Each structure stands twice: as C-alpha cells, then as structure tokens.
Chains A and B, each alone.
Chain A
Amino acid sequence: MASWRLSPKPLPGPDHGGHPIVHIQPIPRLVFFPADRIRKQPTSDSRGFWLGTIYVVAAGQTVAHFTACGGPEKVDDSADRGHTIGRTPAGRYALGPRHHHVTPNWPNSSIPWGASIRRAANGEVEFDDGSGWKPATGDRAPMNTALIRSKTLLRQVPNMAEIRVKARNAFDINPDNPTGQLVTVWERNDFGIWAFNLRRGGKGTPYYVHTTPEDEIATAGGREFSLDQSHGCIHIRPKDRDTMMRKGYLTAGIVIEVNGYDAKGPP
C-alpha cells in the first residue's frame, strides 16, 4: 500500500503562481532482493556469488533500482573471524538515520569516517569528529579498546604493549609498513561515509546499509570496481548512496523489505 507525505517545497511551473500549493508525494519503500543475479555459478568446491538489487517502489510503481550486495547465500563457519557471516535476514525493517557509524567491534570502525587526525604531544593519536579533539589511542581510547576486543574475538590473549604500538600504527599512512606519518583524515572506517541501520520493531539490528572504504577510495579516484559480498549487511555503491540520499530514498523511517535468497525481483 502506498504511503504519502506532504512535500516541503512547491513544484516550479506556470500553473502555480499566486496560489497556495500543497504538493503530495508518495513515500517510497525499498525492496531488496539479495540474490536476483548471479555473478559466479556455484561449483562443487566453491560457492556462488550473488548480486542483489534494491528496487525503489512509490505509489505501486518501481521508480528506480540500484545494485546491492547482501551476505553470502551460505553461512561460512570456516571463515570464522569472531563475527558471523551469512545471509541478510529476510524481513521488514525501517531505516535508521544516516550516521558515521562507530563500533568497537572492528578497529577501523572505532573512529568515525572523516574525523581529523593528529599526533598529540605525548605521542598518542587524537581525532576530532567536529566536537573537539579526543584520544584515539592510549589506554581505554577507542582504537586500543577495539584492538583488544578483536584479539579476544580471534581467541588470542592481548599483549598490551603490542596493542599500543598497533593502535598508533593504525593511523599511519602505511599501517602495514609504518612510516611515522599519520593520515590527516580518517577514511578507513569499515562502514564507509554513511551507514543506515536496519531497524526492526523499533530496535536496532546488527545489519546496515553501507559502502566500504575500498569502494569509497575507488569512487574518489574515479575508478570502476565491483561490489563485493558483505558479511550480512547490504553493500551499495558510493555513487548510488549519494543518488539515493539526494532523492530521499535513504531517509530515516523509510521501509526496506528484505526478501529471501530464492526470490527474484522486481517486486
């Protein structure tokens, strides 16, 4: 059933001069088919790779569609990294507000996307997300906390001296082979620039619509890329994210229906 909202802006045009305008627009809903396209056929020793589609439906019509990628069709226990990997659960959700996602579950996501980075006088790293400079590294700072948590998830005993070094190195322009020079802006958050939670029953879930830092970098560099399978979230392209935001499809409260992996679009 179609929902409607009052448009805050009148339509431009010759018919509207001098008259009060009430413009009614249908509220879109998003319908996600996680596996309505196959990129790679499954074989006896490797699984398939499915691409999905998010359809935008307004007033009963499909008005737009965007490529998206959910979790893998089969749960992979062998890829255990302390996090679950599997299908994006079917169901009806409402989008949460857009936000720079922060979580201690993934070290690179402990700092919000776009935060300014600097080294403090004591050698630790600080970040500013617009609300002032705060410690990024150091005991009980977000990066250290997330690294300790990740080590624990990997069933390893954290070595605190090693954690301190790794935390600082995480902000180096080359974290794998540290140079001592820090990045100035944090663009490594695993959820990309913006994330939108899939909320159910008024509560948040562990699932988000988001991009990946790799895809953000490729887009910023004007390079083409292929979407990759998520661990259960819904990956979209940064350019599509911008389009969907501009057109109001990624707005808090918008309904998103996630279909099963045997369903094919369009709705």
Chain B
Amino acid sequence: MVAIGLSFLALNSEAASDDATAKPGLPQVLTFQLEDGGHRTSGLALSFALPGVIEYECQRIAFHTEIRNREIEIVLLNVEPVENLEGCRMAKVPAPVRERILLPPEIGNYRIVFARRERRDTYALAVTEGTVALEAVGSPTFTTCAETGKLMRVGLNWLWVDFLFVTDDSSRRMRTKRDEVLSALEAIGAKTFAPPPGRYLLDGFVRQIPSGPSSDRDAMEERFFLWEGDWERLRLLASRYQKHAAVATRRPVMILWLSGRDNVVSTSGGYLHSSAIERKRVEEVLKSPPSKPHSSGGEE
C-alpha cells in the first residue's frame, strides 16, 4: 500500500506544508468510517479519505499501519499525489481516494489508534456476530467517526428489495409490476423474512430497518427476503424490469434495488447494474494469467 520508508520524508514535507501558502497538508479533522460488507472484504473494514475533492484533488493520504495483538495503529504521514496522477487530472471530478484497512475477521475487542505526529486518538471496538460497537477512548483531538455507538450487522443471506417509484402516481400505476417482482422472487426460492428492527451498519453507512417515511418524500417501498441462491438469477430477474426504470415525465417509473450484504443488482438510471456479477468477472480476470498487450494492428 504505502511505503513505510517514506515516513521520514513525508513528515518533513508535512512540516513544510503547514505553511499557509502551501497546498493543504493533512486535514485538521480526519473523518473515518467503519464498513461491513462490500469491497470483497471478509469482515469489517475501516476507511478514510481526504475531504473536499477540489482542495485535495488527485491526492491521497500516506499512512502505514501497525498491528500488535488487538491494537491497530494507523500512522498518518502526509498527503501525496495519487499513483495515476495524469489520469486523475484528466477526470472532470476525480473521485477522492478512499483508503481502506481490513480489520481482523475474529470477533472480540480491539483498540484502534490514529497517530499523527505527537497526537494519538484511541477508539475501542467491540465486534460480535450480530453487532459492532465503536466508542472513543477519551476525547479525540483530530479524528471523528462518521457513526459511533452500537450498530447491528446484516446477515450474509439477507436480501432486501427496494422499489423507488419517485411519485405516488407512479407507485399506484406500477403496483402490478411490483407484485410481479415479489412473486418472481418467491418463485425462484427467496423467502420472505422480517429482520429485527434496528440501526444496521451496511457498507459504510447506517441503514435503519425498517426505514421510516422517506425524508425526501419519494414514493419508496422495501421488502426483505432470505436468499441462498445465485445472484445471476437476481440479475436476470432485474433485467426484465430495466425498461421501467427509465425516467420520463409521463411514464410511471419503478427503479429496483436487490441488495445483500456484499452484492447489489439495480436498475438505477434505466441501466442494469450488478456489482455481484461484475465482481465475479473481475475476480476471474485477475485469477487468469496476465493478458498479452493489446493487438496493435501494426499501428504501434
């Protein structure tokens, strides 16, 4: 990830960047988040990124980690240009680079320490099969966690189905299609299920189950199932309803998300998205021997 050997140089350049006229160094406050699911991780992860795309455009945080017993120390060094700097500068709004540290898969209690020069912020993390709890130890001086407290964890075989109709009119007119989707799910083996209500950590954000009324007054519905089958079948099912997700002024809309802890299939924007399938394809490619350079057709 990041060379530890760079730390001396980085610390010195951070000192230089403290000059108000220089480009920003490490941010005054680092916001991090716990993540559960997604990102091909077997368990929990912790992630952080530089804030503000323009201010820190095409830069990333240099850091290294040290793990001793059940203490994970993250030493923040400086900001540095991203690896593919030229490619980044050619993107209109480059995505901030999110650094991700996998946490040990074993349940138990951990200490997470962020160190920045002489300052250290410590957090206590308690992980069980069904919950995760994070609390600051003392008063953090330069870090903040997006969500602290106790959160529930999503089961591996949970499948929740979100329908977004946008307007009440769409919701009424697409009721038959919604019922069709639910019946089709049951027909391929999905079993309806009611998860315990609570605040769940999912990916990097907290999802309230059941979700109350939509804050932006969109017409939405959510349903829950248990799913042990192949996600390819869910992708095929969603593809049948892709055409209903294209938004137009008069036509009713039904946008569909089929989400699990690690996978999602959706018809957002009128296109079929499938992180599960794409992830599988990427893994297959990564496992295969390196491909030859592209055929140049004699042009190079």
Contact = CB atoms under 8 A, between A and B. Distances in A.
Do they bind each other?
yes
Interface of A: 8-9, 40, 43-47, 49, 72, 76, 78-79, 81, 83, 85, 106-109, 114, 122-124, 138-139, 147, 150, 154, 161, 164-166, 168, 173-176, 179-181, 185, 187, 190-191, 193, 212, 214, 216, 219-224, 228-231, 235, 238-240, 242-243, 245-248, 251
B125 interface: no
B167 to A, nearest CB: 6
Interface string B229-271: 0000000000000000001111001010101000010101111
Contact of A181 (B22, B28, B166, B281): B281
B83 interface: yes
The 10 closest A-B pairs by CB, nearest first: A180-B291, A190-B92, A123-B295, A220-B273, A220-B268, A224-B205, A122-B297, A45-B20, A228-B53, A214-B95
A198 to B, nearest CB: 16
A222 B249 contact: no
B194 interface: no
Contacts, number: 166
A229 B202 CA distance: 26
B121 interface: no
A107 B23 CA distance: 26
A216 B247 contact: no
A174 to B, nearest CB: 7
Contacts of B275: 221
Q: Which of B53, B203, B250, B292 has the most CB of A within 10 A?
A: B53
A174 B84 CA distance: 12
A181 B290 CA distance: 11
Contacts of B90: 81, 106-108, 147, 150, 154
Interface string B2-44: 0000000000000000101011100110000000001000000
A109 B273 CA distance: 20
Given A40-B51, A43-B28, A193-B269, A247 B167 contact: yes
A138 B300 CA distance: 11
Contacts of A107: 90
7 contacts: A76-B55, A164-B300, A168-B294, A180-B294, A238-B268, A239-B218, A245-B247
A212 B297 contact: no
Interface in B65-112: 83-84, 86-87, 89-93, 95-96
Interface string B116-139: 000000000000000000000000
A162 to B, nearest CB: 10
Contact of B24 (A46, A173, A221): A46
Interface of B: 18, 20, 22-24, 27-28, 38, 51-55, 57, 83-84, 86-87, 89-93, 95-96, 162, 164, 166-167, 170, 203-205, 216, 218, 247-250, 253, 255, 257, 259, 264, 266, 268-271, 273, 275, 278, 281-282, 285-286, 291-292, 294-297, 299-300
Contacts of B55: 46-47, 49, 76
Nearest to B255: A242
